[in-house]
A and B are shown apart, each in its own frame.
Chain A
Amino acid sequence: MASPLSSILRARFSFTIVSSRGKVRPSLPFISVPKTLTRNPSFPGIRALSTSAVPDGFHRPNTQPSNPSLNFNQNPDNQWAPRNNDIGNPSSNRNSNFQNQGYSSGYANSGVNQGYPNQGGLNSGQGDLQGGMNPSPNFPNQGFRQNQNYPSPRGNVNQWSNNQNQGYGRNPTPNLDRNYPPQGGFQNQAYQQNPNQSQSYPNGGSESRSVMSDQAGPPDLLSLCREGKVKEVIEHMDEVVRANAECFSFLFQLCANSKKFEDAKKVHDYFLRSTFRSDLQLNNMVLDMYSKCGSMTDARRVFDHMPDRNMDSWHLMINGYAANGLGDDGLALFEQMRKLGLPPSEQTFLSVLEACASAEAIEEGFIHFESMKADYGISPGIEHYLGLLGVLGKSGHLAEAEAYIETLPFKPTAVIWEALMNYARIHGDIDLEDRAEELMVNLDPSKAITNKIPTPPPKKQSSINMLVGKNRIPEFRNPTLYKDDEKLRAAKKEQAYVPDTRYVLHDIDQEAKEQALLYHSERLAIAYGLISTPARTPLRIIKNLRVCGDCHNAIKIMSRIVGRELIVRDNKRFHHFKDGKCSCNDYWVIGLSYWDPWLFSIQQSCGFSSNL
Chain B
Amino acid sequence: MALSKLSLLNHITKTLTKPCRLQSHAPPPTFLPIRLFSFATPEEAAAERRKRKRRLRIEPPLSAFRQQQQQQPRPSPSPAPQNPNAPKLPEPVSALSGNRLNLHNRILKLIRENDLEEAALLTRHSIYSNCRPTIYTCNSVMAAQLRQSKYSELLSLHRFITQAGVAANVVTYNLLLNVYLDCRKTDLALEQYKQLINDAPFNPSPTTYRILIKGLVDNQQVEKALELKDEMQSKGFKPDPTIYSYLMLGQAKNSNADGVFELYEELKQKLGTDEISDGVIYGNLMKGYFLKGMETEAMELYKKAIGEGSLVKMNAIAGFEQERKVEEALRLFERMKNEHDPPRKLSVNLGSYNIVVDGYCAAKKFGDAIDVFNSMGEKRCSPDTLSYNVLIDHLCNNDKLAEAEELYNGMGDKKVNPDEYTFVTLMDACFKENRPDDAAQYFKTMVESKLRPNLAVYNRLMEGLVKVGKIDEAKSFFDLMIPKLRMNDDAYKFIMNALFENGRHDEVLKIVGGMLREDPNDFTEEVEEFVREGLRKEGREDEVTNLKSEVEREKAEAAAKVAEEAERAKASARAAVASLLPSKLLGKKDDEVKDGEEEESTEDAVTENGVDYETSEGVVISSKEGNGVSEQVTA
A47–B68 Cα gap in the complex (Å)?
A: 32
Residue-wise interface mask of A (451-476) relative to B, using a CB-CB cutoff of 8 A (1 in contact, 0 not): 00111111111101111101111011
Closest 6 pairs (CB-CB, A-B): A428-B140, A466-B351, A325-B92, A544-B600, A456-B114, A545-B631
Q: Which residues of A contact B122 (CB under 8 A)?
A: 535-536
Distance (whole angstroms) from the CB of B421 to the closest CB of chain A: 5
Q: Looking at chain A, what size class is its interface with the partner chain?
A: 35 or more
* CB–CB A482/B92 < 8 A: no
- Asked if A590 CB lies within 8 Å of chain B CBs, one says yes
Q: Which residues of A contact B611 (CB under 8 A)?
A: 525, 528-529, 532
Distance (whole angstroms) from the CB of B494 to the closest CB of chain A: 18
A520–B7 Cα gap in the complex (Å)?
A: 64
Q: Which residues of B contact A593 (CB under 8 A)?
A: 573
A406-B22, A476-B457, A606-B584 known; A484 vs B483 contact (CB < 8 Å)? yes
* Contact residue among B8, B33, B63, B608 (Cβ-Cβ distance under 8 Å from A336): B63
CB-contacts of B75-99 with A (<8 A): 89, 91-96
CB-contacts of A573-609 with B (<8 A): 590-596, 599, 602-603, 606, 608
The listed residue with most B CB atoms (<10 A of its CB), out of A358, A470, A471, is A470
* CB–CB A531/B128 < 8 A: yes
Q: Name 10 A/B residue pairs within 8 A (Cβ), A-sorted.
A: A364-B42, A453-B112, A466-B10, A472-B421, A476-B421, A476-B423, A533-B130, A535-B129, A541-B607, A546-B629
**Interface residues in chain A, defined as those with a beta carbon under 8 Å from any beta carbon in chain B:** 1, 296-297, 300, 304, 323-329, 331-333, 335-336, 357-361, 363-364, 366-368, 370-371, 394-400, 403, 406-411, 425-431, 435, 438-439, 442, 453-462, 464-468, 470-473, 475-485, 503-506, 515-516, 519-522, 524-526, 528-546, 548, 561-564, 571, 590-596, 599, 602-603, 606, 608, 611-612
Distance (whole angstroms) from the CB of B478 to the closest CB of chain A: 14
A367-B39, A476-B421, A540-B607 known; A530 vs B128 contact (CB < 8 Å)? yes
A439–B39 Cα gap in the complex (Å)?
A: 35
A482–B458 Cα gap in the complex (Å)?
A: 13
* CB–CB B96/A426 < 8 A: yes
* CB–CB A519/B634 < 8 A: yes
- Asked if B234 CB lies within 8 Å of chain A CBs, one says no
Known: A328-B61, A477-B453, A599-B578. 4 other contacts (CB 8 A): A368-B42, A399-B206, A442-B343, A535-B128
A476–B451 Cα gap in the complex (Å)?
A: 10
A399-B210, A477-B453 known; A561 vs B170 contact (CB < 8 Å)? no
A358-B94, A435-B343, A563-B121 known; A472 vs B393 contact (CB < 8 Å)? yes
By beta carbon, the residue of chain A nearest B602 is A544
A332-B46, A407-B29, A456-B112 known; A524 vs B605 contact (CB < 8 Å)? yes
- Asked if B601 CB lies within 8 Å of chain A CBs, one says yes
Distance (whole angstroms) from the CB of B21 to the closest CB of chain A: 4
- Asked if B560 CB lies within 8 Å of chain A CBs, one says no
Q: Which residues of A contact B343 (CB under 8 A)?
A: 435, 438-439, 442
A332-B46, A561-B128 known; A529 vs B452 contact (CB < 8 Å)? no
Q: Which residues of B contact A300 (CB under 8 A)?
A: 62-63, 66
Distance (whole angstroms) from the CB of B333 to the closest CB of chain A: 13
A595–B581 Cα gap in the complex (Å)?
A: 13
- Asked if B588 CB lies within 8 Å of chain A CBs, one says no
The listed residue with most A CB atoms (<10 A of its CB), out of B93, B130, B144, B344, is B93
Number of B residues near A (Cβ < 8 Å) is 153
Q: Which residues of B contact A328 (CB under 8 A)?
A: 46, 49-50, 53, 60-61
* CB–CB A361/B420 < 8 A: no
Q: Which residues of A contact B390 (CB under 8 A)?
A: 467, 470
* CB–CB A428/B111 < 8 A: yes
* CB–CB A532/B130 < 8 A: yes
CB-contacts of B607-632 with A (<8 A): 607-609, 611, 613, 615, 618, 621-622, 624-625, 627-632
By beta carbon, the residue of chain B nearest A467 is B386
B contact face: mostly helix, strand, loop, or mixed: helix
A361-B49, A407-B32, A466-B11 known; A521 vs B604 contact (CB < 8 Å)? yes
Q: Which residues of B contact A397 (CB under 8 A)?
A: 170, 205-207
A430–B146 Cα gap in the complex (Å)?
A: 12
Q: Which residues of B contact A602 (CB under 8 A)?
A: 581, 585
Q: Which residues of A contact B417 (CB under 8 A)?
A: 459
* Contact residue among A395, A460, A542, A599 (Cβ-Cβ distance under 8 Å from B386): A460
Q: Which residues of A contact B607 (CB under 8 A)?
A: 525-526, 528-529, 532, 539-541
The listed residue with most A CB atoms (<10 A of its CB), out of B32, B390, B608, is B608
- Asked if B486 CB lies within 8 Å of chain A CBs, one says yes
By beta carbon, the residue of chain B nearest A397 is B205
Distance (whole angstroms) from the CB of A288 to the closest CB of chain B: 16
Q: Which residues of A contact B609 (CB under 8 A)?
A: 529, 532-533
* Contact residue among A461, A465, A477, A519 (Cβ-Cβ distance under 8 Å from B420): A477
* CB–CB B136/A331 < 8 A: no
Distance (whole angstroms) from the CB of A444 to the closest CB of chain B: 14
Q: Which residues of A contact B453 (CB under 8 A)?
A: 476-478
Q: Which residues of A contact B573 (CB under 8 A)?
A: 590-595
A397-B170, A591-B576 known; A296 vs B386 contact (CB < 8 Å)? no
By beta carbon, the residue of chain B nearest A393 is B93
* CB–CB A531/B143 < 8 A: no
* CB–CB A367/B37 < 8 A: yes
* CB–CB A477/B128 < 8 A: no
Q: Which residues of A contact B387 (CB under 8 A)?
A: 465, 467
- Asked if B197 CB lies within 8 Å of chain A CBs, one says no
By beta carbon, the residue of chain B nearest A367 is B42
- Asked if B363 CB lies within 8 Å of chain A CBs, one says no
* Contact residue among A366, A522, A599 (Cβ-Cβ distance under 8 Å from B35): A366
- Asked if B574 CB lies within 8 Å of chain A CBs, one says yes
* CB–CB A606/B621 < 8 A: no
* CB–CB B46/A361 < 8 A: yes
* CB–CB A483/B486 < 8 A: yes
Q: Which residues of A contact B148 (CB under 8 A)?
A: 456, 458-459
* CB–CB A459/B63 < 8 A: no
- Asked if B384 CB lies within 8 Å of chain A CBs, one says yes
